[in-house]
Amino acid sequence: MIICKTPREIEIMREAGRIVALTHQELKKYIVPGITTKELDKIAEAFIRKHDAIPSFKGYNGFTGSICASVNEELVHGIPGNRVLNNGDIISIDIGAEYNGYHGDSAWTYAVGSIDEETQRLLDVTEESLYKGLNEAKPGDRLSNISHAIQTYVEANGFSVVREYVGHGIGQDLHEDPQIPHYGPPNKGPRLKPGMVLAVEPMVNAGSRYVKTLADDWTVVTVDGSMCAHFEHTIAITETGFEILTKA
């Protein structure tokens, strides 16, 4: 069941999203060679709590981190630990914050120091694919128009869209209906309505689209070891289009 939010609920989610965006801004200062993912996690948790929010991911189905920190071939759900970031790495950081009972959710992939040209192109294409999808988020249109726009752009640029993980509705629960694949034909699925709040999050591989989960039961990596990227915003459908909630 898709839950449309009231203006008051969206107001609360706007603040949750703002806290997520501010946390990304804060962490970006520390993403340099030599820092560990555990150190980034501690910075994020302290920052979220300082803003009267709770890290959405901490304890979620047993997850131990406050953020997901996924490096290089790690796509999503990387557990913060003692891994040291090196020059040339990329790191995808997924942040959720619960504020007054409602969640905001956003992921971004960052360069660590200097990265090669092709890896930068992967980041650029994945980020742009997110906005290509969001531009299809219009009241009255079908949900899969978002999915189709993302897939079309990614594949036209020679990269692969991961199919095992999808975007989602969000609100009082971190994951709500509907599921939002980042691939598929246009003009399918439910019609978008004002009040829907969606987390759209294309996950893109430089090589093949196939992924697997490691023995920790969390960390998802590319099967071929290729680099991958992940960008996500939480948006609210409005009367005329959409509003990005995960912005500062």
Three-state SS for 201-221 is CCEEECCCCCEEECCCCCCEE
Task: From residue 25, give the alpha-carbon distance in Å to each of 5, 108, 130, 141, 176.
Answer: 27, 11, 19, 33, 26
pLDDT per residue as tens, the chain (248 positions): 999 999 999 999 999 999 999 999 999 999 999 999 999 999 999 999 999 999 999 999 999 999 999 999 999 999 999 999 999 999 999 999 999 999 999 999 999 999 999 999 999 999 999 999 999 999 999 999 999 999 999 999 999 999 999 999 999 999 999 999 999 999 999 999 999 999 999 999 999 999 999 999 999 999 999 999 999 999 999 999 999 999 99
25 contact partners, CB below 8 Å, separation of at least 6: 248
The four Cα atoms 38, 41, 47, 50 give a dihedral, to 10 degrees, of -90
**What is the distance between the alpha carbons of residues 47 and 10, in angstroms, rounded to a whole number?**
22
CA atoms within 13 A on the CB side of 135: 10
Q: What is the pLDDT of residue 198?
A: 98
Angle between helices 7-28 and 37-50 (to 10 degrees): 140
Predicted pLDDT at 216: 97
Instruction: Give CA–CA dist 95/102, Å, rounded.
Output: 14
Q: Tokens 């993912």 map to which residue?
A: 37
Task: With residue 242 as reference, give the H or E element that holds it.
Answer: strand 242-244
Per-residue confidence (pLDDT) for residue 135, from 0 to 100 = 98
Residue 201 has a pLDDT of: 98
Looking at residue 89, its pLDDT comes to 98
pTM of the prediction?
A: 0.97
Q: Residue 193 in contact with residue 17, Cβ under 8 Å?
A: no
| Residue where the block lists tokens 């509907």 | 178
Q: What is the pLDDT of residue 77?
A: 98
Taking the alpha carbons of 216, 222, 224, 226 in that order, is the dihedral positive or negative?
negative
